[in-house]
Amino acid sequence: MTNLKSAPTIEVKDLVFGYPEQKPVLRGISFTLQPGERVALLGLTGAGKSTLLENLIGLKMPQSGEIRVQGKKLEEATLSQARRQIGFCFQDANDQLFMPTILEDVMFGPRNYGVPPGVARDRALALLDEFGLVEFANRSAHELSGGQRRLAALAAILALEPAILILDEPTNGLDPSWRRHLASVLSQLPIEVILIASHNLNWIGKTTQRALILADGEIKIDRQTQDLLGDKSTLEYYNLPPDW
Ligand SMILES: Nc1ncnc2c1ncn2[C@@H]1O[C@H](COP(=O)(O)OP(=O)(O)OP(=O)(O)O)[C@@H](O)[C@H]1O
Ligand SMILES: [Mg+2]
C-alpha cells in the first residue's frame, strides 16, 4: 500500500431529512465509508433505511447536513457525476425495470453512457447468464417472478460497472441458493464500497464486515458485523431478534 491518504468514499455529516408535515425521519446522521468497506444498514421496518439510501444518491435532498461522494459535496452540480459512480438498487425492483424486455433493461444504462450496442449487449447477456435469466432475456420484467425481477434489477445495476454499490433489501424474494450466489457475486466485484440495507442478519453476516443500526433517526450502533451478530442482547434491545 502507498501512504497516499484517499478521501472517504462516502461521508455523511449531520444529515437531517423529513417528509412534509412529519417529524424528521433522519435526525442527524453521520458516518463515513472508507474504500474497501462492505457495510450493512440495519433497522426496523420504517426506521428510515431506504430514505437514507435515497439521500445518498440525491433522489431525496436533506433539509440540513451534507453528503460527500469521493470527496465531492452532493449538490445539483455534482449529482450526475455521483450517480455515474453509484449503482443503486431500489427496494422495489419494479422501480428499476421499465423497458419492453429485460435485455433492454440491462443494456439501458450502458447505452445511455455511450457503450456501443454490441458491447452493451454482450455485457448484458453475460450478466443475465450469471443470474440464470438468459432464457428470459426477451421477456418483460412483469412476466418474471419477484425473485427473477430482483436479479434482473441487480444485473441492470452491475452492467454500469459502478464504483460504489448501494443495495436496498437485495435478497427480497430470493431463495437460499440465489442468496448464496448473490453473496458470491458481490464478493468478487471490483467495487470500492458496498452498502446494503437488509433485514436478513444471516446474509449480512456473510457479506459485510461492518454494520450500522438506524433507530430513532440516528445511527445508534456502528460495529463489526460478526461482533454485533454475536451480541444477542444488543440485537434484542434494537428489536432485531436474530432468529426471526
Ligand atoms: N414518500 C413518503 N412520504 C411520506 N412518508 C414516507 C415516504 N416514504 C417513507 N415515508 C415514511 O418514512 C419512514 C421511513 O421509511 P423508509 O422507507 O425509509 O423505512 P425503511 O427503514 O426503509 O423500512 P423497510 O424496512 O420497511 O424498508 C416511514 O415512517 C415511512 O412511513
Ligand atoms: Mg426500506
Question: Which domains, from first to last, does the chain contain?
Answer: 10-97+153-237 (3.40.50.300)
For ligand 1, is residue 25 a contact (CB within 6 Å)?
yes
Record the cell numbers describing residue 87, joined without a space.
449503482
Q: Whose CA is nearest to atom 2 of ligand 1?
A: 19
Q: How far is the CA of 45 from the centre of ligand 1 (A)?
A: 8
- Tens digit of each residue's pLDDT, the chain (244 residues): 444 567 899 999 999 999 999 999 999 999 999 999 999 999 999 999 999 999 999 999 999 999 999 999 999 999 999 999 999 999 998 889 999 999 999 999 999 999 999 999 999 999 999 999 999 999 999 999 999 999 999 999 999 999 999 999 999 999 999 999 999 999 999 999 999 999 999 999 999 999 999 999 999 999 999 999 999 999 999 999 988 8
Counting every residue, how long is the chain? 244
**CB-based contact 194:186 (threshold 8 Å):** yes
For ligand 1, is residue 217 a contact (CB within 6 Å)?
no
For ligand 1, is residue 21 a contact (CB within 6 Å)?
no
For ligand 1, is residue 154 a contact (CB within 6 Å)?
no
